[in-house]
């Protein structure tokens, strides 16, 4: 295969397709710099605990970055923390504390929850309140292009002077009133208006003294300023949930392209929303879950991660308790399979049809992801392989030489899904949740099994039985094999 100069890895050339909201089409992914993917991710607005809908979008972004890395790209992902916006200003003022103090708790919780879900840390996590000067400079730059005006101490973006306005969300501009303004950060398409880049202070609210007057930034300018500061004036990929398409991302495009005259983003990827039992999640409906709500109910991080990752990002995800149960059993099936593969002794040699199946599964897994991150297709390939291999083992057709290729396919799977290695208990402990229902980690089980084997060897059967009992209480079943070894699985 011919290689393109400068690629970090030959596979970086492979045909990855992403659905680009800007063009409305699936397109081959071609980054600006070969071998490098520069991604901006709208992070959480830290006015409350993030919910599972938010984490559906963050898990999609984690799958995206893990997959690009698997394909050999050097990934530079910047995620912001929106630590100043209308809701934060209002809540902090109501609590009578500063906004940094108000948001601190939610930032910590978000970082802890992200770790528990196995989200890789983006290369940069940046806070809006650390970038006020960058926002002011960007507003000045847009003003020099005469796309802004002032009213009552606030600065607005004049959308009628940016002809491309609406190109991302495809809004119909015909009914838009020139000169009408909107001051709130979040509004509907029907209210497309000149929006605030900089807002004059209101009594009792937090503000900054700056060259463009006292006040605070609008939400949209925050992301434009931070994205371009860390990733340059044209980014490869910008991600978020579908609710951010309008007005947030539309306004980001207007501000950035007005200032630079260059395309702001090459590929816009938007995750569809998560519903709970078929309904929009809302606190008043009582179907609103944070991760910690689910952990408290005994659900494992791996179960939640698996469920959130299993539905392709552009499909609506209906989060149900049944779905959680199924996800837990899918993860268990994989873990039990790996344990069986490691513990059982198989006859020497290689079964050619299983070997071909393993190669095919690894290939189909990757193909699924290359097709706009079709995680459902990728998963199907791996579960077919596990089913076939289990059947072959039951029939005595599995051979020692088949193990390595299957483990390699599962390793590839886990580089994206990150659920096979059982570290749920450690993850929960690390974020301060310990529930009795949480199982032991693989490493903990292995250590106890080894201890029991040692006890049996020195004929201390009392100790061996005690350990077996201890494991049984934590849902681990031991099966002694004919060759004196032991196999374990989870109940």
Q: How many other C-beta atoms are found inside a 10 Å radius of the C-beta of residue 4? A: 10
Q: How many other C-beta atoms are found inside a 10 Å radius of the C-beta of residue 261? A: 9
Question: Which of the residues 223 through 252 are near ligand AMP (CB under 6 A)?
Answer: 240-241, 243-244
Question: Which of the residues 27 through 46 are near Zn ion (CB under 5 A)?
Answer: 42
Among 12, 18, 37, 54, binds ligand AMP (CB under 6 A): 54
Angle at CA 247, nearest 5°, toward 244 and 251? Answer: 110
Q: How many other C-beta atoms are found inside a 10 Å radius of the C-beta of residue 170? A: 13
Q: What is the smallest separation between the CB atom of 90 and ligand AMP, expressed in angstroms?
A: 15
Among 18, 19, 22, 44, binds ligand AMP (CB under 6 A): 44
**Can you tell me the distance from the alpha carbon of 452 to that of 458, in angstroms, rounded to the nearest whole number?**
10
**Can you tell me the distance from the alpha carbon of 189 to that of 299, in angstroms, rounded to the nearest whole number?**
38
CA torsion sign, 251 to 256 to 258 to 262?
Answer: negative
Piece of 22-30, 175-183, 223-231, 388-396 that binds Zn ion (CB under 5 A)? 223-231
Closer residue to ligand AMP in complex, CB, 42/338: 42
- Mask for 253-272, x = binds ligand AMP (CB under 6 A): ------------------x-
237: contact with Zn ion by CB under 5 A? no
Closer residue to Zn ion in complex, CB, 130/480: 130
**Can you tell me the distance from the alpha carbon of 215 to that of 160, in angstroms, rounded to the nearest whole number?**
25
119: contact with ligand AMP by CB under 6 A? no
Which one of Zn ion, ligand AMP, none interacts with residue 331, CB within 5 to 8 A by kind? none
291: contact with Zn ion by CB under 5 A? no
Closer residue to ligand AMP in complex, CB, 43/118: 43
**Can you tell me the distance from the alpha carbon of 226 to that of 238, in angstroms, rounded to the nearest whole number?**
12
31: contact with ligand AMP by CB under 6 A? no
Closer residue to ligand AMP in complex, CB, 35/241: 241
**Can you tell me the distance from the alpha carbon of 157 to that of 311, in angstroms, rounded to the nearest whole number?**
38
76: contact with ligand AMP by CB under 6 A? no
DSSP states of 409-441:
HHHHHHHHH--SS--HHHHHHHTT---TTPPPP
Q: Mapping DSSP to helix (H, G, I), strand (E, B) and coil, where does residue 68 land?
A: helix
- Residues making contact with Zn ion (CB under 5 A): 42, 223
Interface contacts to ligand AMP, rule CB under 6 A: 42, 44-45, 53-54, 56-57, 82, 240-241, 243-244, 271, 273-274, 281
């Amino acid at each position: 295969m011919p290689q393109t100069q400068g690629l970090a890895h030959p596979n970086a050339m492979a045909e990855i397709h992403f659905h680009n909201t800007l063009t409305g089409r699936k397109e081959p992914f071609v980054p600006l710099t070969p071998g490098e993917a520069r991604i901006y991710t709208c992070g959480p607005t830290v006015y409350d605990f993030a919910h599972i809908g938010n984490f559906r979008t963050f898990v999609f972004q984690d799958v995206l970055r893990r997959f690009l890395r698997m394909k050999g790209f050097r990934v530079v992902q910047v995620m912001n923390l929106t630590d100043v916006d209308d809701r934060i200003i209002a809540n902090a003022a109501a609590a009578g504390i500063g906004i940094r103090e108000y948001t601190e708790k939610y930032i910590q919780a978000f970082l802890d929850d992200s770790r528990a879900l196995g989200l890789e840390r983006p290369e940069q996590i940046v806070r809006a309140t650390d970038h006020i000067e960058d926002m002011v400079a960007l507003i000045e730059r847009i003003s020099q292009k005469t796309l802004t005006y002032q009213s009552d101490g606030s600065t607005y973006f004049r959308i009628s002077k940016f002809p491309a306005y609406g190109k991302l969300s495809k809004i119909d501009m015909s009914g838009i009133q020139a000169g009408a303004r909107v001051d709130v950060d979040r509004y509907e398409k029907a209210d497309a208006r000149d929006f605030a880049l900089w807002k004059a202070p209101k009594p009792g609210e937090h503000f900054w003294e700056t060259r463009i007057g006292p006040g605070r930034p609008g939400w949209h300018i925050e992301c434009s300023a931070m994205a371009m500061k860390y990733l340059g004036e044209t980014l490869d990929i910008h991600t978020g949930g579908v609710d951010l398409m309008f007005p947030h991302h539309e306004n980001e495009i207007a501000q950035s392209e007005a200032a630079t005259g260059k395309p702001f983003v090459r590929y816009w990827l938007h995750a569809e929303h998560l519903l709970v039992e078929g309904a929009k999640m809302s606190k008043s409906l009582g179907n609103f879950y944070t991760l910690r709500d689910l952990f408290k109910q005994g659900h494992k991080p791996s179960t939640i991660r698996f469920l959130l990752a299993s539905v392709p990002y552009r499909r609506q995800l209906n989060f149900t308790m049944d779905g959680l149960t199924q996800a837990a059993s899918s993860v268990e099936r994989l873990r039990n399979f790996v344990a069986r593969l490691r513990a059982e002794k198989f006859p020497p040699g290689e079964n050619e049809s299983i070997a071909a199946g393993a190669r095919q599964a690894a290939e189909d897994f990757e193909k699924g992801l290359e097709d706009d991150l079709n995680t459902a297709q990728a998963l199907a390939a791996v579960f077919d392989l596990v089913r076939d291999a289990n059947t072959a083992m039951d029939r005595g057709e599995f051979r020692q030489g088949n193990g390595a290729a299957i483990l390699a396919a599962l390793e590839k799977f886990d580089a994206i899904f990150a659920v096979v290695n059982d570290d749920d208990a450690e993850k929960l402990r690390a974020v301060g949740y310990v529930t009795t229902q949480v199982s032991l980690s693989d490493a903990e089980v292995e250590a106890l099994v080894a201890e029991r084997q040692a006890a049996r060897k020195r004929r201390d059967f009392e100790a061996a039985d005690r350990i077996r009992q201890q494991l049984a209480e934590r849902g681990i079943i031991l099966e002694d094999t004919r060759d004196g070894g032991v196999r374990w699985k989870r109940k």
